[in-house]
Structure 1
Amino acid sequence: MNDSLSSEVLRYAAFTADPDGGNPAGVVLDATGLDAADQLAVAADLGYSETAFLTRAPAGDRAFAVRYFSPKAEVPFCGHATVAAAVAVAERIGAGELLFETKAGPVPVLVERAPDGTLSATLTSVEPHVGPVTAADLTEALAALDWTEDELDPTLPPRIAYAGARHLVLAAATRARLAALSYDFERLAALMTRLDLITLQLVYRESEHVFHVRDPFPVGGVVEDPATGAAAAAFGAYLRELHGVREAELTLHQGEDLGRPGVLRVELRPGDSRVRVGGTAVPIGPRTA
């Protein structure tokens, strides 16, 4: 392993240029010697929604095997920790193309440096898919959220979308409904565990290509994820499947209601069913007692 890629636990904020914005992620650039129990313990101690653990992969110097852990469990893929880890790697070995071998499959990541020096990373999802949610499961989800069906946007119907992890997409009819999020933690966690969901992707459509989103994450031991790249990728696949969107650049605003605003870029390209999600990431200062 390159000496510059250490086993130190790093802290980054993803989908923001402000360390106090976006979604905090832990990053361990050299997880050699850490087994699953060790990695879970590190993630639990850090307390962020996810921590990424990297080891060199056989594909080359810019390829890494990556595992992601929430404070409670391993997850197959995490977008914000991917962006954070890619920027952390690029700070040490240079911008360019990286390959992350995840449990969901291979995820290429392109890291680019802006003229002002800011680094951004764009991941390309694994092959996505979208499926239905049963009426009974939708009723249970709405009950756990304390939402009613008439508070949903009928133009964006409920679906389960996957682009590395499973998410239930529910669209609020108003920004106020999205902002007033208060839910039954244990009830929603039980439903999500049964359906193998990582988050709920709660969305409000501001305009054709601009959305506000929130992501409850009780199965990870976190009330809400401030900026969720995996769910953003799944949402891009959802729009393609339901509305025939073949080419678009979407802007997702997330974290505003938590005081940690972040911006996620979602790109759909014609002829490619995969979804690209990008954003900036910056280091967070050392932890204080």
Structure 2
Amino acid sequence: MTTDVLRYTAFSGDPQGGNPAGVVLDATGLDDAAMLGIAAGLGYSETAFLTAPPEGLGGEPGRAFTVRYFSPRAEVPFCGHATVATAVALAERNGPGELLFATRAGTVPVSVTAEGGALRAVLTSVEPRVLPIAPEDLAEALAALGWPAADLDPLLPPRIAYAGARHLVLGAASRARLADLAYDFARLEALMRRLDLTTLQLVFRAGPDLFHVRDPFPVGGVVEDPATGAAAAAFGAYARELGLVPADAVLTLHQGEDMGRPGVLTVELRAGDPRVRVGGEGVQIT
């Protein structure tokens, strides 16, 4: 183990794609201020910090950890892309297999496999839920985005979805609408803090199981998150709750293309299991 800050990208096998994350494999002795300082200095959407697992967590020795996630501005309860990045970093050192992470949102199992020379991690979310959004809050979100209500897809109704963190899901009526993202940073941040939102999950449906997504992240101190595993898990729960996809489904989410950091997130839903599985490749950034 090392206290060095490693740099990995998640949801891409290309260091220039996906979402970069910091990974500290041994954060023993680091207090909250130190972890926040490291995350702020690195400047990525999130950095993951590992310490010993809590008593009774389970898992194989050396493959279970406590994980905390910090954005440049604050701690977040769960981060999907930093989970994938961390799992890949551990697999490079200890081999593929099963991992168990104790996060502030709950226990998150992660499975890492080697596929064609690449490492792929699949996390299993905490139990999700989907909630309505008040009309006045939706109106404020649209005003901050600069989106007329007519630019929403009526087949993707607005909801707040949770699978470890809260995200507002908004469906774009066209790919052009999704591509044209220029929002009022301070106004959207204020609304998101009031509603305890981590990102907005902006979605365009390109096919029955194919989606393009973007995630404004002003509460984390960055304009946009390039690939958002927690939001992907929340979206999977949303799609199932609203009957947009079958009970057994595998969804493909493309994110980061409009930022020049393309990534691919796979979302798996299983009938009878409320949890959502989110997977993708990861690779170290040299």
TM bucket, shorter chain: over 0.9
Aligned to 1:91: 92
- Write the letter of the residue equivalent to 2:113: E
Selected match of 1:52 from 40, 48, 55: 48
CA offsets 1:138-189 (integer angstroms, 9 cap, x no match): 0000000000111000001000000000000000000000000000000000
Matches within 5 A, 1:96-175: 96-114=97-115, 116-175=116-175
Residue 81 of structure 2 aligns to a residue whose secondary structure is helix
- Measured after TM superposition, the shift of residue 56 of structure 1 is 2.1
Q: Distance in 1 between matches of 2:101 and 2:214?
A: 26
Q: Distance in 1 between matches of 2:32 and 2:7?
A: 20
CA offsets 1:109-136 (integer angstroms, 9 cap, x no match): 000001x321000000000000000000
Q: Distance in 2 between matches of 1:48 and 1:273?
A: 30
- Measured after TM superposition, the shift of residue 61 of structure 1 is 1.8
Aligned to 1:27: 23
- Write the letter of the residue equivalent to 1:224: E
Percent identical pairs in the alignment equals 72
- Write the letter of the residue equivalent to 2:231: A
Residue 27 of structure 1 aligns to a residue whose secondary structure is strand
Matched, 1:41 2:57: no
Residue 93 of structure 2 aligns to a residue whose secondary structure is helix
Unaligned 5+ segments in structure 2 are: none
CA offsets 1:247-287 (integer angstroms, 9 cap, x no match): 100000000000000000000001100000000000001xx
Q: Distance in 2 between matches of 1:185 and 1:143?
A: 11
Matched, 1:71 2:67: no
Unaligned 5+ segments in structure 1 are: none
Q: Distance in 2 between matches of 1:151 and 1:274?
A: 31
Q: Distance in 1 between matches of 2:152 and 2:74?
A: 31
Aligned to 1:9: 5
Q: Distance in 1 between matches of 2:140 and 2:254?
A: 27
Aligned to 2:269: 268
RMSD: 0.7
Question: More displaced, 237-246 or 76-85?
Answer: 237-246
Q: Distance in 2 between matches of 1:257 and 1:157?
A: 23
Residue 142 of structure 2 aligns to a residue whose secondary structure is helix
Q: Distance in 1 between matches of 2:270 and 2:34?
A: 39
Q: Distance in 1 between matches of 2:77 and 2:230?
A: 10
Aligned to 2:282: 281
Residue 243 of structure 1 aligns to a residue whose secondary structure is coil
Residue 108 of structure 1 aligns to a residue whose secondary structure is strand
- Measured after TM superposition, the shift of residue 243 of structure 1 is 1.1
Q: Distance in 2 between matches of 1:278 and 1:36?
A: 29
Q: Distance in 2 between matches of 1:158 and 1:44?
A: 32
Q: Distance in 2 between matches of 1:228 and 1:106?
A: 19
Aligned to 1:254: 255
Q: Distance in 2 between matches of 1:119 and 1:177?
A: 34
- Measured after TM superposition, the shift of residue 29 of structure 1 is 0.4
- Write the letter of the residue equivalent to 1:258: M
Q: Distance in 2 between matches of 1:122 and 1:7?
A: 25
Aligned to 1:207: 207
Q: Distance in 2 between matches of 1:105 and 1:146?
A: 35
Residue 155 of structure 1 aligns to a residue whose secondary structure is coil
Matches within 5 A, 1:173-212: 173-212=173-212
Q: Distance in 2 between matches of 1:281 and 1:28?
A: 16
